[in-house]
Structure formats: structure tokens, C-alpha cells
């Protein structure tokens, strides 16, 4: 008797491989590759799907489920730091020359307490290689993106700092039915 398995001639063409790259505003005129990562990156769609129970049903009924909440999250671990990466980690921050007079030696980030609508990025996207696609990538993005959580940059002897940024997608108030994420899988030619 032959074994049962899912392996086909197409199997090895459909793997997400290697580290991927993180972009700000991917696919837009102001697209920016944010920098090198260490420890990988993750894309998660956190979701609550409620079963609506009814009297008489002995279990879950087809059609009884509804999406209650969706919270897309992209986590990136940046080893390469730049003012753009730091601004992503500190939503609402602005960059100015330091010192303000004389020769500039630094970019200084500061922030006021208010986060404006203009502080949200159109998208933050992981673009990763697909093992069998000669022309396409797997693209996973959060829309109306803003980081959340603490800013932590640790320094340790004989090591490099890695800045972990949690980037959350947000619903557009003009279209609360459109979930704030996308996943694009490339067309892969069959053998």
C-alpha cells in the first residue's frame, strides 16, 4: 500500500524562504527599504471569530460564525538603525538637526504627546522570497500602520543592539468593513 502525503511536483515551488525585507509604504512613490534585520520578522493576523449559539443546536452550525475583531501585527527586529527606523519605533516623533546651530553632528528625535493622523504610514510590508517564483514575492502588509509597545534599545558587550518594533494595522474610519492588511502570493508557473 502506498503512503499518503501532500508532496507533489509543485510542492517545492511554494515555500516562503529566507529573511524577507521590511518596507515602508511598499508599492508607493515614497517606498523605502527600512534596513537589515536579525532574528527574522513575523506577520500575524490576530482575529476573534465568534460562534453565535442558538437554542436547539447541539454544536456549531454552519453560518453561525462572524468576525468580531481583527488586529494585524507585523514584528520586525532591526539590527540596522536609521532615523527612519527610529521614527517608525516612536510614532509621532520628528527629526531635527543637532545642534541647532553650528555643524550638525546628529539627527535628534523628539516627540509631542499627540499622535496625528499623518503619523500613520500607508503600509509596512514584509516582502519575502517564494521558492518557485521567478518574478514574484510573497508580500504581507499592515495598512494604516503605527508601532505600539515600548521603545527598547539594549547595549551589551560583544553584541549588537536589535530594536524590536511591533507595527499594528488600523482600520480606515471611512471604510470599517475593509480589514487593514493584505497578503499577496505570486503566480507560480506549473511544470
Query: Cα–Cα distances in Å, from 51 out to 12, 33, 54, 66, 177?
Result: 37, 41, 9, 7, 19
What percent of the chain has a predicted confidence (pLDDT) above 90?
Answer: 84
CB proximity list for 24: less than 8 A, separation 6 or greater: 31, 32, 34, 84, 88, 121, 123, 124
Instruction: For residues 183 and 140, give the distance between their C-alpha atoms in angstroms, rounded to a whole number.
Output: 5
The residue behind cell 453565535 is: 52
Section 10-14 average pLDDT: 83
pLDDT tens digits, residue range 14-72?
Answer: 888 888 999 999 999 999 999 999 999 999 999 999 999 999 999 999 999 999 999 99
What's the pLDDT score for residue 191?
67
> pLDDT at residue 190 above 90?
no
Q: Where are the domains of the chain?
A: 23-124+145-182
- Distance (Å, whole) CA 80 – CA 67: 37
Among candidate residues 21, 11, 24, the one with its CA nearest the CA of residue 41: 21
Does pLDDT of 77 surpass 70?
yes
Q: Name the burial class of residue 88, with classes exposed (0-12), middle (13-18) and buried (19+) by CB atoms within 10 angstroms of its CB.
A: buried
- Prediction pTM value: 0.90
Q: φ and ψ at 57, to 5 degrees?
A: -80, 135
The pLDDT assigned to 189 comes to 75
Strand pairing partners for 109? 95
**Mean of per-residue pLDDT scores for the chain:** 93
Mean pLDDT of 140-162: 95
- At 17 the pLDDT is 81
What digits encode the pLDDT tens for the residues 96-125?
Answer: 999 999 999 999 999 999 999 999 999 999
Residue 16: per-residue pLDDT: 81
Amino acid at each position: 500500500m502506498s503512503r499518503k502525503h501532500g508532496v507533489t511536483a509543485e510542492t517545492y515551488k511554494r515555500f516562503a524562504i529566507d529573511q524577507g525585507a521590511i518596507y515602508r509604504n511598499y508599492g508607493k512613490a515614497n517606498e523605502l527599504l527600512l534596513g537589515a534585520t536579525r532574528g527574522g520578522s513575523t506577520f500575524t493576523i490576530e482575529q476573534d471569530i465568534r460562534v453565535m449559539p442558538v437554542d436547539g443546536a447541539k454544536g456549531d452550525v454552519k453560518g453561525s460564525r462572524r468576525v468580531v475583531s481583527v488586529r494585524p501585527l507585523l514584528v520586525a527586529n532591526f539590527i540596522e538603525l536609521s532615523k527612519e527606523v527610529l521614527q517608525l519605533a516612536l510614532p509621532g516623533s520628528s527629526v531635527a538637526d543637532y545642534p541647532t546651530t553650528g555643524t550638525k553632528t546628529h539627527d535628534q528625535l523628539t516627540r509631542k504627546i499627540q499622535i496625528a493622523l499623518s503619523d500613520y504610514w500607508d503600509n509596512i510590508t514584509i516582502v519575502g522570497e517564494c521558492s518557485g517564483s521567478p518574478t514574484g514575492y510573497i508580500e504581507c502588509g499592515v495598512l494604516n500602520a503605527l508601532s505600539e509597545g515600548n521603545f527598547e534599545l539594549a547595549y551589551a558587550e560583544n553584541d549588537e543592539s536589535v530594536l524590536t518594533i511591533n507595527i499594528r494595522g488600523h482600520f480606515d474610519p471611512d471604510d470599517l468593513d475593509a480589514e487593514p492588511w493584505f497578503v499577496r502570493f505570486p503566480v507560480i508557473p506549473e511544470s
